[in-house]
Amino acid sequence: MTFGVKTNERPGTRATVKNYGMSASKARLVLNLIRGEDVKTAAEILQGTTREAAEVSLKVLTSAVANAVNNDGLPAEALYVSAAYADEGPTMKRFSPRARGRAGRIHKRTCHITIIVSVMDEQRLAILEAARSASAAASRARRVAGSKKQAPAAEAPKAVEADETTDVVTPEVASVETTVTETEVTTEETTEVENSTTEETDN
């Protein structure tokens, strides 16, 4: 944070939304999360925040980055949120009827949200690039490890198919085969007995 410099004199590219229907204190809770972060990280933080101020702050941040790229010719990868603040806007005063002829005051507050983006210094940019490279390498290693784990799983159905082609004898089929074999043996024995009886009769 730069001290001794007016808000309208801070260096960088800015974007502002004025007279937004929200109190400045609620907007500051969200702006405190992204101050000093690079634009990519700041956008991710705002996308994961459920407050209403996060949605409008994300639009203001996107506008500030677009102004820096299109108007000032700055690279979007080297930008960070150098300043983010919310000023109080005009307050609309309304009244609600109360008992015994009295009136309750209602204040509908507004605010002006401003986000300023600037180019990071070389040291911080080098650290950020190293962190991004390490993250990309780690994600690639996870993908490679995941693909290696999925390879045996793809071969598993082939083994199952090979097992399905083999002959499997169930207990029911085995009992039927045993009964057929016993019937054949009994028939053969009966035939031999009849033959022997016929031979004895002939003699």
Reported as a single tens digit per residue, the pLDDT across 7-19 is 667 788 999 999 9
Residue 77: inside a domain: yes
- Name the percent of the chain in helix, strand, coil, to the closest 5: 60, 20, 20
> What is the domain count for the chain?
2
pLDDT the model gives residue 203 = 47
97 and 20 inside one domain? yes
**CATH number of the domain residue 20 falls in:** 3.90.470.10
Instruction: Tell me 48's DSSP state.
Output: T
Q: Where a domain ends, among 89, 120, 151?
A: 120
pTM: 0.62
Q: Where a domain ends, among 68, 85, 120?
A: 120
177 and 95 inside one domain? no
Residue 125: inside a domain: no
For residue 103, the enclosing domain spans 9-120
Check: CB of residue 49 under 8 Å from CB of residue 38. no
Question: Sorting pLDDT into bands at 50, 70 and 90, what band is 157?
Answer: low
Q: Where a domain ends, among 67, 89, 120?
A: 120
- Of 150 and 72, which is predicted with more confidence? 72
